[in-house]
């Protein structure tokens, strides 16, 4: 529990969460908001936007502060937690109280950013940064020390989908609508699936409009058209591969697993450490392998159901109350 002093939360126990808050569908943005929800049960927590381009939608929906030394709307000590953000080229860190703890939740593969965020200028006199990584995969790739905390997800929002024995076999994916999220080899794969009678539903797909011919079984939606828990309920299988953006964690994969969907994912990503091929999901190396797996799942509803149940069980273990409690205690200690 947070320490109390004169009926108020002590500044030393306050937790401040920093994020750019530029994208309502961004992984680090959602991670920050979920951590805020969880930590608020035990401590006073404040949200801070580090970017001047913070999303107006997020600013309306959540109590996010803009840092302003002129109006004294600034963090006032305690624990500073940066998630997918840092303070480079900003003056405000020199004008606010020194934090008791400094934590960086690092969710990319950019060592230069890590160097900027973990090497404090001597005159700032901040404590040494504690590093949190979001997957063992990321830790292996970066070869750095740090505690590993999977990006928190409220799996209560995601319920196993209801069986649709008479519906068309539907494969889909969900992501932000940016070029790095898409692999060039997926376009011919999608065309082959459509030719084989598969229905495709892709959200965050406006970049594909000019690359995929219109088809009665193809549905393309902009990012955010449907909430993830609604969109995933319409699928039989979740397919995922990215291009230049390698997923350090891939929270959307775990959201699909929470819906009891068999996931078919490229093997290079943070999610892969949690997928046991053929048991709670499938991993592939080549486009040919992906096509074979999808064809097998199309032909075998029983396999889809068995793997989907194990997928749900896996995320229930990963985000169990006990596991979440252990991760939250890291911030509260």
* pLDDT tens per residue, range 149-173: 999 999 999 998 876 767 899 999 9
Same domain, yes or no, for 134 and 239?
A: no
Among 152, 168, 198, where does a domain finish?
152
Same domain, yes or no, for 129 and 11?
A: yes
Q: Provide the sign of the torsion angle of the four alpha carbons 84, 88, 92, 98, taken in this order.
A: positive
Cβ pair 83, 107 in contact under 8 A: yes
The CATH number of residue 167's host domain is 3.40.50.2000
Q: Classify strands 64-66 and 45-49 as parallel, antiparallel or unpaired.
A: parallel
Task: With CA atoms as reference, report the closest residue to 191 among 173, 217, 168, 167.
Answer: 217
Same domain, yes or no, for 132 and 162?
A: no
In angstroms, rounded to a whole number, what is the distance separating the alpha carbons of residues 259 and 300?
19
Same domain, yes or no, for 111 and 167?
A: no
For residue 286 the two structure tokens come to 């080549």
For residue 275 the two structure tokens come to 């997928």
In angstroms, rounded to a whole number, what is the distance separating the alpha carbons of residues 333 and 323?
16
**Exposed/middle/buried for 256, CB within 10 Å: 0-12, 13-18, 19+?**
buried
Same domain, yes or no, for 175 and 138?
A: no
Q: Which residues of the chain have pLDDT under 70?
A: 1-10, 89, 111-113, 116-118, 163, 165
Cβ pair 269, 247 in contact under 8 A: yes
Cβ pair 333, 130 in contact under 8 A: no
**Angle 282-284-287 from CA coordinates, rounded to 5°:** 130
Same domain, yes or no, for 304 and 163?
A: yes
pLDDT for the residue numbered 4: 34
Q: Provide the 3-class DSSP secondary structure of residue 64.
A: strand
In angstroms, rounded to a whole number, what is the distance separating the alpha carbons of residues 319 and 258?
10
pLDDT for the residue numbered 116: 67
pLDDT for the residue numbered 82: 93
- Distances in Å between the Cα of 297 and the Cα atoms of 236, 306, 307, 315 are 9, 11, 10, 21
Q: Which helix (H) or strand (E) holds 104?
A: strand 101-106
Domain that holds residue 239: 156-318
Same domain, yes or no, for 229 and 287?
A: yes
Assigned domain for 332 exists: no
Same domain, yes or no, for 235 and 126?
A: no
Same domain, yes or no, for 125 and 173?
A: no
Q: State how many domains the chain has.
A: 2
In angstroms, rounded to a whole number, what is the distance separating the alpha carbons of residues 168 and 193?
12
pLDDT for the residue numbered 111: 67
Angle between helix 321-332 and helix 27-39 axes, rounded to 10 deg: 90
Same domain, yes or no, for 140 and 161?
A: no
Assigned domain for 325 exists: no
pLDDT digits (tens, 9 = 90+) for 235-275: 999 999 999 999 999 999 999 999 999 999 999 999 999 99
Q: Name, in order, each residue with C-beta under 8 angstroms of 200's C-beta and a sequence gap of 6 or more.
A: 170, 171, 172, 190, 193, 194, 215, 217, 218, 219
Among 94, 127, 152, where does a domain finish?
152
- Partnered with residue 173 across adjacent β-strands are 202
The CATH number of residue 146's host domain is 3.40.50
Same domain, yes or no, for 164 and 94?
A: no
Listed in sequence order, the DSSP H helices in the chain are 27-39, 56-61, 111-118, 136-142, 186-195, 228-231, 251-258, 287-299, 301-318, 321-332
Same domain, yes or no, for 162 and 274?
A: yes
Report phi then psi at 292, rounded to 5. Answer: -65, -40
110-134 in b/e form (b: 16+ CB < 10 A) is: eeebbeebbebeeeeebeebbbbbb
pLDDT for the residue numbered 6: 35
pLDDT for the residue numbered 22: 94
What is the torsion angle, in degrees rounded to the nearest 10, for the CA atoms of residue 290, residue 293, residue 297 and residue 300?
A: 160
């Amino acid at each position: 529990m947070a320490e109390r002093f004169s009926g108020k939360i002590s500044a030393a126990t306050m937790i401040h969460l920093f994020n750019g808050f530029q994208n309502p569908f961004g992984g680090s943005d959602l991670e920050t908001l979920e951590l805020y929800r969880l930590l608020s049960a035990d401590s006073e927590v404040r949200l801070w936007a580090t970017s001047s381009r913070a999303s107006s939608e997020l600013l309306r929906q959540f109590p996010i502060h803009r840092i302003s030394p002129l109006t004294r709307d600034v963090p006032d000590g305690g624990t500073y937690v940066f998630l997918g953000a840092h303070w480079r080229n900003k003056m405000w860190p020199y004008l606010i109280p020194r934090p008791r703890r400094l934590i960086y939740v690092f969710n990319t593969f950019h060592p230069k950013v890590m160097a900027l965020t973990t090497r404090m200028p001597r005159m700032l006199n901040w404590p040494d940064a504690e590093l949190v990584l979001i997957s063992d995969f990321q830790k292996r790739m970066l070869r750095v020390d740090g505690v590993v905390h999977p990006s928190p997800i409220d799996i209560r929002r995601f319920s196993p989908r209801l069986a649709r024995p008479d519906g068309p076999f539907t494969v889909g994916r969900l992501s932000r609508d940016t070029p790095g999220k898409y692999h060039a080899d997926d376009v011919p794969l999608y065309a082959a699936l459509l030719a084989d009678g598969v229905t495709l539903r892709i959200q965050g797909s406006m970049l594909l409009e000019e690359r995929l011919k219109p088809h009665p079984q193809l549905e393309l939606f902009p990012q955010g058209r449907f909430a993830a828990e609604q969109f995933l309920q319409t699928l039989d299988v979740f397919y995922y591969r990215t291009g230049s953006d390698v997923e350090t964690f891939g929270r959307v994969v775990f959201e699909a697993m929470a819906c009891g969907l068999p996931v078919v994912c490229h093997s290079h990503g943070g999610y892969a450490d949690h997928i046991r091929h053929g048991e709670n999901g499938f991993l592939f190396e080549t486009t040919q392998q992906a096509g074979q797996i999808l064809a097998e799942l199309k032909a075998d509803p029983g396999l889809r159901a068995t793997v989907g149940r194990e997928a749900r069980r896996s995320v229930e273990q990963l985000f169990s109350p006990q596991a979440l409690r252990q991760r939250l205690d890291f911030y509260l200690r």
